[in-house]
Structure 1
Amino acid sequence: MKGHIGISSPFFIVKEKLPALIRDIKKEDAKDITELFKLNYEDTYYKKSFYNPSTWEEMVESKKYYPVVAEVNGKVIGQFLLTVNDKYNGEIGAVVVHPNFKGRGLMNQMFDYLIQKAKSLGLYAIYGEAIMFHPFSQKANLKHGMIESALQLGEVASWIAQKDIKFEKRSATLVSYLLFKKEKRSLYLPEVYKKVILDRYKKLNIPLSKTVIRPVKKSLKLWENRLLKLSGLIIDGKIKNFENRFNTLFAKAKLRGEMVYADINLHTKEIDEIVSFLNKKRFFYSGVLFYRYNGFDYLRLQYENTHNVEEKLNVCFSDYCKWLSKFVREDKKRVYRL
């Protein structure tokens, strides 16, 4: 699920833009790309398969992974990955640029190409998760029209580091979206978060209506990422014996995840009841995820299953990020008082 995490070093001086050939990956690029990961992360990048050239060679024929590269004088000096989750959305990340060429506009050039690639694939939206070590990735996302919608505390394991950056606690990511299709929605919004959710729909210019809300197929599912110690529950409607079944899966989630997320389909009629139940379980606000599963939008809540989570020192570039960080911390305090 998390093949998207990438860190861009803040330690560079902006220089003159470097013209580069931006194109789709070729098999012969594989060794250059693995070298870029070594130069940026040494051996700390969590997805170890990215150090294997065969991984990138296989992506050439893939219908899920679409790496974009920057080439200068016949050598690949940058890579930016689009991962297609389903026919609705794709995730951008794992961006790496050769240290000698940072600050030359290569990421932005690849970003522009990647957006066009996503459009050509017919995706409804793309999103990125900027690690909050520094504001550079956040700034790049905003520059390309992405809208910030969620803050995920503790998503980045503390052992993930870049060459010159190391943090003791789990770090946050800031989720931003770029929507290509803005279909009119009719949703159930929980009263406790209604204002903050509506603000994001307004910012994205997504029309909302009061027509009949189409029902969802009710289900409750658990997902796990054991490597990164993350887990979550996907809530589509209120199933029978919801509280008991949730508690069973929640217990399993806490065994696997230092952070546990709960994603609630915004077509869930009982959403106020479910949010109240989760708040009492100490789940607090994270944000809105658009087209997250099967074309539906979800409210994400989050639960800290460890004390090793950075909350106050996450770096924000935008005013909204600063506001959201404060809102999330205050909501955590609120639910802990319930």
Structure 2
Amino acid sequence: MTSDTADKETLASLKVKAELKLLPIVLRTVRDVACRYGLDEPAVRELELATEEACHNVIEHAYEPGENGYYKVKIHREATCFRITVRDQGMPFNLKRLNEEKTSDLGVKLMQACTDEVKSKYLGKKGKVVELVKNFSFESVNEVKSPSSATTSSKEDLAPKSEEVTLRLMRPDETVSLARLIYRVYGYTYPHEDIYYPEKFASLIESGLVTSCVAVNEQEEIVGHLGVFLETTQDHVGESALAAVDPRYRGRGLFPKMKKMMVDEITAKGIMGLYSRAVTVHVASQKSNVKMGAKETGFVLAHSPPTAIFKKMKTEEVQIRRTVALFYVLVVPDTEQTVFLPYKHQEILEKIYKHTELKRVLKMADPDTVDLAPHSNIRSHFLPEMASAFLRVNKYGTDFMEELQLQIQDLSQKRVELIVLDLPLKDPNTAILCPEIEKMGFFFCGLMPEYLDGDALRLQYLNNVTFDPETVDVYSEFAKEIFSYVVQEWKTTHEN
């Protein structure tokens, strides 16, 4: 080995398509490599933030919309520092601002604050490159840390116990602070992508579609969050999501305190219950839901796109959409309701109702009593970033089957991979029409209590999506029974 090779070692090299959804893979690689080759945890976090900003600049500004552009990221370890290079052959832009000591550009300020040196230069026909340098601390020079010691936060990283943390409802002007918290905890992997668009998330708070409880430190920085999402302001149930506590403030019991405050708040607003989605790449979040009293009600196969990266996921598996488990927990005492069950799914639905301890009068529908309105009312919520669509049937009309078929055709042309369909169980037409709906490619995936001014039967449709049941890890015995049923329904539809 020559002296040059010894002084500068390339640890990793990535060629990445300039798309935002692939950025988490780059950041995870930077974090894992830097942890294993000598940077301490605070330095790793800063290098990760600086790399994110440099790559984001390429993704947002280097290529025209629709242009098939790529960029390269290399990770080097030198005798005294780590060096990240981000190189692209996209549209030239003013690199002088990266080299200015005084700049008004917030992104440049971030890169400068998080690194010891920022360099940039043009490479002629080879494009341009940005270099980010992070020096080792004195004691870590020529010393490679083990993965376990590198990834564990030290006591010095924890906030002082004397620092006061206050709980309150979140204001719309605090969404940037919340986005920073979610990044620190999840990176860019959280399924609710609205959180990464502060202005959009602020509008959701202002409209009443999101209620957020936050924990703030003495600097008014958000260090904990728990939110409840509604799809419409008329909903009786919400989704419990965006639970996060800053690593510096863990061990203070913030999550139980936020949960109690949130339950009191949504109860006052008339919310009857909360549902949540738990990942299935491991059982930790499922186990947590069960411990908090939530009940399993179904599974949505291939729910989350490959950008939802989790700690235990292997790199070679990132192109597989991930399944989620559905949970429901009551907030206020339940009231008795009448529901009409499709004959095919009667047994599994009865078991779910018994498991959730909901008061229901279960009936079978009479086909001779079909009463359809002139026109259907199907609400569609399209999420292009997830290649998914969520449909709600608010009213059945004589044109229902035709209207649903048109929706499927339109969404398939948009390359939507997952379509979720919620049907009202208080309407006997759901039980009567369910067999015809399933002939179109939909299959059973669960129960959504109180979701459509009453309980909803949830079906799903997969459009040219690969699914492997072996990639799903299920926690409880009852959940395994539901999952087995859903998989069998998928197989039946898939084979047909």
**Would you call these one fold, judging by a TM-score over 0.5?**
yes
Q: Verify: 1:276 aligned to 2:435, yes or no.
A: yes
1:309 equivalent to 2:454? Answer: no
Return 5+ residue gaps in structure 1 as ranges: 1-10
Query: Once the two structures are superposed, what CA deviation does each residue of 1:303-329 show, in whole Å capped at 9, x if it has no partner?
Result: 211233353322222222222211111
Structure with more of its chain in helix, by fraction: 2
Question: Does 2:273 correspond to 1:114?
Answer: no
Structure 1 position 137 matched with structure 2 position 296: no
Could you list the per-position Cα deviations for residues 13-37 of structure 1 after superposition, in whole angstroms to 9, with x for gaps in the alignment? 9xxxx99543322467544422212
Q: Flag the 1:72–1:162 CA change in 2: closer, same or farther, 3 A.
A: farther
Counterpart selection for 1:81 from 224, 227, 231 = 227
1:38 lines up with 2:196 in the alignment: no
| Distance in 2 separating the partners of 1:311 and 1:162 | 18
Q: How does 1:37-56 map to 2 (within 5 A)?
A: 37-45=182-190, 49-51=194-196, 54=199
Using the TM superposition, give the Cα deviation of residue 248 of structure 1 relative to its aligned residue in structure 2, in angstroms. 2.0
Structure 1 pair 64–189 and aligned structure 2 pair: CA distance change class (3 A)? same
CA distance in 2, matches of 1:304, 1:59: 29
Identify the match of residue 219 of structure 1 among 376, 396, 403. Answer: 376
Shift of 1:229: 1.0
d(CA) in 2 for partners of 1:235, 1:25 = 32
Q: Secondary structure at the match of 1:209?
A: strand
Alignment partner for residue 246 of structure 2, among 86, 92, 98? 98
2:420 equivalent to 1:251: no
Of 417, 421, 425, which aligns to 1:266? Answer: 425
2:15 matched residue in structure 1: none
Contact 2:372 2:396 in 1 (8 A): no
Counterpart of 1:4 in structure 2 is none
Aligned in 2, Cα 1:299/1:31: closer, same or farther, shift over 3 Å?
closer
Q: In the superposition, relative to structure 1, how do residues 144 and 36 fare at CA in structure 2: closer, same or farther (>3 Å)?
A: same
Cα distance in structure 1, aligned partners of 2:393 and 2:483: 24
Cα distance in 2 for residues equivalent to 1:147 and 1:172: 17
In 2 relative to 1, CA 330–98 (structure 1 residues): closer, same or farther, beyond 3 Å?
same
With over 3 angstroms needed to count, the CA separation of the structure-2 counterparts of 1:232 and 1:90, relative to structure 1, is closer
Tell me: CA distance 1:25–1:207, structure 2 relative to 1, closer, same or farther (3 Å): same
The correspondence for 1:206, drawn from 358, 366, 373, is 358
Do the aligned residues in 1 keep the contact of 2:340 with 2:362 (CA within 8 Å)? no
Aligned-pair CA distance for 1:132: 2.1
Residue-pair matches, total = 324
Counterpart of 2:321 (choices 164, 170, 175) is 170
Q: Secondary structure at the match of 1:330?
A: helix
Deviations 1:87-127 (A, max 9, x none): 41211102222234456643333223222221121112221
Aligned-partner Cα distance in 1 for 2:339–2:171: 43
CA distance in 2, matches of 1:135, 1:109: 24
Q: Let me know the Cα RMSD of the aligned residues.
A: 3.4
Secondary structure of 1:114's aligned partner? helix
How far the C-alpha of 1:190 sits from its partner, in A, is 0.7
Q: Which amino acid aligns with 1:276?
A: P
CA 1:114–1:317 in 2, change beyond 3 Å: closer, same or farther?
farther
TM-score by length of 1: 0.81
TM-score, structure 2 length as denominator?
Answer: 0.57
5+ residue gaps, structure 2, are 1-150, 154-160
Q: Is the 8 A contact 1:145 1:178 kept in 2?
A: yes
Contact 2:298–2:483 (8 Å) recurs in 1 = no
Equivalent residue for 2:215, pick from 51, 70, 94: 70
SS of alignment partner, residue 227 of structure 1: helix
SS in 2 for 1:332: helix
Q: Deviations over 1:112-158 (max 9, x none)?
A: 32222211211122211122232232222222222211211122111
Tell me, what secondary structure is at the counterpart of 2:393? Answer: strand
SS of 1:22 mapped into structure 2: strand
Q: Which residue of 1 aligns with 2:127?
A: none
The percent of aligned pairs where both chains have the same amino acid is 19
Query: Which stretch of structure 1 is more off in the superposition, 36-45 or 282-291?
Result: 36-45
Larger Rg: 2
SS of match in other structure, 1:69: strand
Deviations 1:151-178 (A, max 9, x none): 1112211112257756321111212112
Choose 48-57 or 271-280, whichever is displaced more: 48-57
Report the secondary structure of 2:411's partner residue.
Answer: helix
- Residue 28 and residue 228 in structure 1: after superposition, are their counterparts in 2 closer, same or farther (change >3 A)? closer
Q: What does the per-residue CA deviation read over 1:206-254, in whole Å, with 9 as the maximum and x for residues that have no partner? A: 2233799998866252522222111244335642244333322221232
Query: C-alpha separation between the residues in 2 aligned to 1:240 and 1:57?
Result: 40
CA distance in 2, matches of 1:268, 1:83: 25
SS of the aligned residue for 1:296 comes to coil
Q: Is 1:216–1:268's contact at 8 Å kept on the other side of the alignment?
A: no
The letter of the residue matching 2:345 is: Y
Mapped pair 1:24 → 2:182: no
SS at match of 2:428: coil
Secondary structure of 1:92's counterpart equals strand
Q: CA deviation at 1:80?
A: 1.3
User: Compared with structure 1, are the counterparts of its residues 108 and 245 closer, same or farther at alpha carbon in structure 2 (3 Å cutoff)?
Assistant: same
Q: Cα gap change, 1:283/1:268 in structure 2, threshold over 3 Å: closer, same or farther?
A: same
